[in-house]
Amino acid sequence: MLRGLVWLLACQLVGEVLVRAIDVDVPGAVVGMALLFVVLQLRRPADGASVLVAADALLAHLQLLFIPAGVGIVAYAATLRDDALPIGVALVGSWLAGLAVVGWLATWTGRRTAEVR
């Protein structure tokens, strides 16, 4: 499991370094997650691989990762109250865009799967 955690943290570190080196406005954790996705697609780890064991252990306690977000909401309540309309529009708009993309992808993959059969 320790080796898997090292893999996860190494990908996040590389993502942070890349973001700072290239100077883009993307969170380093997102770049690291994309890098981890690429590595996992290329290596195709076995069922008992250390990175999968570490990920399962983290997912078992996923609810703990929401505590910092809750604290941030409480800490910035005044700012959120002042900018409620733009934040609400951004949240609803991004949710609708995500829903549309996922719906389109589900339809597209369903058609491709039906063609293969």
How is residue 14 written in tokens? 């590389």
Q: Which long-range contacts (CB under 8 A, 24 or more apart) does 79-84 make?
A: none
Cα end-to-end distance, the chain, whole Å: 39
Higher pLDDT, residue 66 or 107: 107
In contact, 34 and 56? CB cutoff 8 Å: no
What is the value of pTM for the model shown? 0.58
Nearest to 4 by CA among 32, 35, 45: 45
Q: What is the pLDDT of residue 115?
A: 80
The band of 65, judged by pLDDT with boundaries at 50, 70 and 90, is confident
What residues contact 51, with CB distance under 8 A and at least 6 apart?
Answer: 3, 4, 7, 8, 40, 45
Q: What is the mean pLDDT of residues 84-101?
A: 97
